[in-house]
Amino acid sequence: MIGGMGTSADAGDASAGQGHTLSLPEPTGPCPVGTTSLWLTDASRPDPWAAGVNTRELMVSLWYPAAPSDGRRAWYMTPAESEILIASARITGLPPDALSTVRANAVVDATPAGRQRSLPLVLLSPGFTNPRSTLTALAEDLASHGYVVAGIDHTYESDATAFPDGRVTTCLARQAPRPGRNEKVVAGRTADVCFVLGELTGAHPAWPGAGLIDTSRIAMAGHSIGGAATISAMLADWRIRAGVDMDGATRARIPAEGLSRPFLFMGTQASYTPGTPGRKSSVITWERDWKLLTGWKRWVLVEGAIHASFTDLVLLADQAGIYVGAGLSGARSLDISSAYVRAFVDQHLRETPQALLDRPSPRYPEVTFCSPEAETRA
């Protein structure tokens, strides 16, 4: 299943979408966007999922403000990745290479633009089984507003991760025993994030454009278990100044003294409405952590959204004629999530106050602000 989109039984036949170009929305910011990929190897630890593999290999995509260029636009993913993901989701009627033909906006290896140490960095962690590419629209939009964005593929947790040497790894983590699996995922992702931060901000960075990054202004956002890993990564790494959890039940326990850095919970009404009788275990984790978030915090819900609405997948499903049960179009849900994540990092990395984060907006009537303390007392 790709990001909660469902299987052929509820997704329907995608044949209606054939012949239509799948594409991502144009970024809303003024900067052209470039992208590149990094193949990173952490020799300090074994892979947590592949027995006998003594190093951890990661693929990371970077999106960044770039000089204007008429170069080639990036592939959304490789044909091999597309074939495996579509087969895993059991979507019928969609060509196997369909996701590799998605029209993105960033130009491959475009020249980075900006002053040295001037650009904030946002790390992105996708949901379980999802590749980093499923957060491309959010990444491109942030980059167009002057951010460097690093999307991490957590190897063997994605249905498919292609490496430059031709290997395509699959989701070995799915085979792990369920008791303790999610906690192991979060711990491994935390180590991945800390390693990637070191590779981008250390003395010998892996990316030639790393000098543009302002290492004092770093945030992280994740979807699903990537959102859960955001709290864990913030607890482990002081460099991450602010975090966003998009529809992910949390796992790492915040210590009694609390977490004082800014945090945004953004989720679906179905899973994360606080204080309701018989509420799901997922919202209980947010209620537990909310009490221990001692700094700036918000809890917002998006009416009509489903779990995959915070990724590119509902938009692409809409374009392909696949019904996934969302009450909100993929284009609208991406508009909302991008706007709120961007407002959050603008406020906390650029110290630019954002009214969007303080009260309901007529531009986004689907968004509800929650006050868990009041709702719990009621």
Domain boundaries, the chain: 8-377
Please give the Cα distance from 301 to 73 (Å, whole number). 34
Spans of the chain, pLDDT less than 50: 1, 6-18, 376-378
CA torsion through residues 131, 87, 83, 161, sign: positive
Distances (CA, A) of 133 to 101, 222, 248, 311: 12, 13, 18, 9
Please give the Cα distance from 89 to 237 (Å, whole number). 35
DSSP 370: -
Place of tokens 């249905």: 159
Please give the Cα distance from 287 to 375 (Å, whole number). 11
What sections of the chain are H helices per DSSP?
Answer: 8-11, 79-89, 136-144, 181-201, 225-236, 269-272, 281-290, 313-320, 330-349, 372-377
Residue 375: predicted pLDDT: 54
Contact in structure between 287 and 320 (CB atoms under 8 Å): no
Which residues touch 19 (CB under 8 Å, ≥6 apart)? none
Residue 352: predicted pLDDT: 98
> What is the model's pTM?
0.94
295: which 2 tokens?
A: 């700094």
Residue 11: predicted pLDDT: 36
276: which 2 tokens?
A: 């309701």
Place of tokens 């991760």: 161
Domain at 8-377: CATH code: 3.40.50.1820
CA-wise closest residue to 261 among 222, 286, 235: 235
DSSP 293: B
Return the beta strands (E) in the chain as ranges.
33-42, 56-65, 107-108, 119-125, 148-153, 161-162, 168-169, 213-223, 242-246, 263-268, 297-302, 367-369
Please give the Cα distance from 109 to 292 (Å, whole number). 42
